[in-house]
Structure 1
Amino acid sequence: MTSETQQTESVTTETETEPNDLRNLIEGARVVLWDFDGPVCRLFAGHSAERVARDLVDWLEGRGLHGLLDEPARESLDPHVVLRAVDRRHPGSDLVAELEERLTQEELKAAASARPTPYADPLVRTWTAVGARLAITTNNSPRVVKEYLTSRGLLPCFAPHLYGRTQELSYLKPHPHCVQRALNAMGAAPSTALMIGDTPSDFLAARAAGVPFLGYARNERKTKVLEEAGAEMIVGSLEPVLKAVREAGQA
């Protein structure tokens, strides 16, 4: 088991957010919506997402369904791109359901070797302790989220608010569906919430739902793509967020 605050990766990006701006963002958040893979953990740290994507492509080709994927989808290193490409051709089909279940099984395997994002565990516990309500809003399977959070002892900080991938794949982020589900279930106004995410799709979903956004970027490449999407509040580590939450709780 990895120590909660152990640095499991090299964080090269300095915080792009001024301390006062971060404090103001945190103090306004009564509900915190977390993307899962990235801010909470690196799901595929020990189980390659690229290999999973290739396996899904190979599985389709083995069934004579090569034509369902265009070249960008076949060359994609993201299993969600493969899944969405098939769903666009055959939405709601048994084929899509079977492909989604194959991805879920791969995510469950990945959860066993997922690495906690540095400072995520204590941040989750601290935010809960000072009275915020937390939810997961993710494109991953909620079964996978539950498995991982249970292994870290964090499930009580989130349950029952785990909003992940459903059979309606058109609702994956950047569609705001999972964000809106969380807000509705928790009876929260968008302005009283905060979303933490590490991809443009997270930012776009939060913006569409009217929820303030805090970007987490563990390297310069992720910082750049978030900035290009329009995100303004970005941190390269969750450590300053943890510090700000602790200070706000003591105020």
Structure 2
Amino acid sequence: MTAETAEETENLRELITRARVVLWDFDGPICRLFAGHKAERVARELADWLEGRGLHGLLTETERKSLDPHIVLRAVDRRHPGSDLVAELEERLTQEEMRAAASAMPTAYADILIRTWTAVGSRLAIATNNSPQVAREYLESRGLLTCFAPHIYGRTQNLHRLKPDPHSLNRALSAMGAAPAAALMIGDSPSDFDAACEARVPFLGYARNESKAKLLREGGAEHVVGSLEPLLTMLRG
């Protein structure tokens, strides 16, 4: 083991062991929500739905080609904030997320890590841009809901409060009576990192491939892992 690797391991161990509250992003660290029900298809269908209502011009070409349903939703909200149109679009996205949850792929080691972290006395919460109803349904299907409930904080009608805004993280910290320094955020995107920084919460990036790891590091994340297994090993140790 090199000195650099040893230092990284020790830094990771410190992050893990000092966390009394762990805030999890949902889609990524816990599961691949759109593993079987592709996000790209959902984004296209939302854009097609808008076009079918004569609202093609609401999206720029870049937004239409983003293949990210949250980008489509937020783009419409910026132009028609708080409208019935946004509420209907958000409901359609929630329905698609519910369908996706049925074929979601659990992230390797996530289930056992969640149970182990709970067993050693840490408290867990969800801070996600997905529907909280979807996160709740998935966690219940895996027998994990009791590890988080009632602390599941997700998308609301206030779409400007989605990450990178720290709103969901701050809601979790406030409800759990936790200081930011005693918490840890686990996320897989630069927006998760930005939200954690804004909330002054230490951050651990999870990247299932090198391209995601590169995005996290370029976004400023210092600690990034490609597997949750080292976390489990450290907790058990």
Q: Is TM more than 0.5 here? A: yes
> Counterpart of 2:178 in 1: which secondary structure?
coil
TM-score by length of 2: 0.97
Mapped to 1, the partners of 2:137 and 2:19 lie a distance apart of 27
Percent of paired sites with the same residue: 75
Match of 1:204 among 172, 180, 194: 194
- Match of 2:114? 124
User: Which ranges in structure 2 are unaligned for 5 or more consecutive residues?
Assistant: none
Partner of 2:139: 149
Matched residue count: 233
Alignment map for 1:1-251 (pairs within 5 Å): 18-247=8-237
Q: Closer, same or farther in 2 for the Cα pair 1:72/1:54, shift >3 Å?
A: same
Q: Distance in 2 between matches of 1:104 and 1:141?
A: 6
Q: Report deviation, 1:70.
A: 1.0
Measure the CA separation in 2 of the matches of 1:88 and 1:17: 44
Q: CA offset at residue 109 of structure 1? A: 0.2
- How far residue 16 of structure 1 moved from its aligned partner, in angstroms, is 11
Query: Does 1 or 2 have the higher relative contact order (CA < 8 Å, sep 6+)?
Result: 1
Summarize the Cα distance change of 1:206–1:57 in structure 2 as closer, same or farther, 3 Å threshold: same
Deviation of the 1:17 alpha carbon = 7.7
Cα distance in 2 between the residues matched to 1:25 and 1:113: 32
SS at match of 1:106: helix
Q: Give per-residue Cα distances to partners, 1:131-177, cap 9 Å, x unaligned.
A: 00000000000000010000000000000000000000000000000
Superposition misfits of 4+ residues, deviation over 6 angstroms: none
* 8 Å CA contact 1:17, 1:235 repeated in 2: no
What are structure 1's unaligned runs of at least 5 residues?
Answer: 1-14
Identify if the C-alpha distance between structure 1 residues 17 and 42 changes in structure 2 by more than 3 Å, giving closer, same or farther.
farther
Superposition TM-score, scaled by structure 1 size? 0.91
CA RMSD in angstroms comes to 1.1
